[in-house]
Structure 1
Amino acid sequence: MKRIHAAPGTISPVGPYSQAVISGHLVFTAGQIPSLGSFDEQPESFKGQVRQTFANLAAILETAGSSLSHIVKVNAYLTDPAQLEPFNEVYREILGHAPPARTTVCVQLWGVSLEIDCVAELIAKENGQ
């Protein structure tokens, strides 16, 4: 098992956890938020926040040896049911080519409008590993 504490270009975890854990051929990410460089720096628009959250996930997955196109499961946490339609618009832009399984729930979060975590497959090496 391999743990990734902080991927380049992302904020470090605010608690005792890893941003990602690699187990077997899967990458499990911790929930990501729309931070740009610090917890307080976030895009103004909700769609921008969704895009930034996926950009943060992409950085973590790349560090782990995977990518957004290798995601098999997404868990999305929104803070307002009205966010679902704009969330789905951006989600289709990013993952619409072959959408993974997904759970979306409405919750109360600390100072952010959404959080997303995922499970992805590692990208196979040329030698089949």
Structure 2
Amino acid sequence: MKRITAALGAIGPVGPYSQAVVSGNLVFTAGQIPARNDFESQPEGFEEQVRQTLRNLEAILIAAGSDLDHVIKVNGYLTDPAQLEPFNRVYAQVLGHAPPARTTVCVSLWGVTLEIDCVAELINLEDAPA
């Protein structure tokens, strides 16, 4: 059974997709960007953009019945290889206590410096959104 979630506290989808899909005991998120309220509202510095992207991801995970502590796989998309060190610094602060499996690649993105998606386990299957 699949459940689709739209989260308050994160920028809404910028296309025809769900922010997260719950299947079984897993949450699959769409890629999140560093936008605050809309696509144009992004933090200035790269490290703060990473933090904002992770906050958006966390809001979606919570709405779906999970959280950052239950992330098992992360995909990170950066636009410049020089971003890897500051990305790792912020990532380690947020997810470094029990780091999930991760893939990080350098790509061309539309108007953003990074994007992150993940797979997480549900905290409590009974609390999952309907």
TM-score by shorter chain over 0.5: yes
Question: Is residue 73 of structure 2 the alignment partner of residue 66 of structure 1?
Answer: no
Question: Counterpart of 1:83 in 2: which secondary structure?
Answer: helix
Question: Is residue 105 of structure 2 the alignment partner of residue 77 of structure 1?
Answer: no
CA distance in structure 1 between the partners assigned to 2:10 and 2:89 by the alignment = 24
CA distance in structure 2 between the partners assigned to 1:117 and 1:10 by the alignment = 13
**C-alpha RMSD over aligned residues:** 1.1
- 8 Å CA contact 2:25, 2:125 repeated in 1: no
Residue type matched to 2:54 in 1?
A: F
Matches within 5 A, 1:1-129: 1-4=2-5, 6-124=6-124
CA offsets 1:63-91 (integer angstroms, 9 cap, x no match): 00000010000000000000000000000
Runs of 4+ in 1 over 2 A off after TM superposition: none
- 8 Å CA contact 2:47, 2:86 repeated in 1: yes
Q: Gapped runs of 5+ residues in structure 2?
A: none
CA distance in structure 2 between the partners assigned to 1:73 and 1:11 by the alignment = 22
Aligned residue pair count? 125
Percent identity, aligned pairs only, is 71
Q: Gapped runs of 5+ residues in structure 1?
A: none
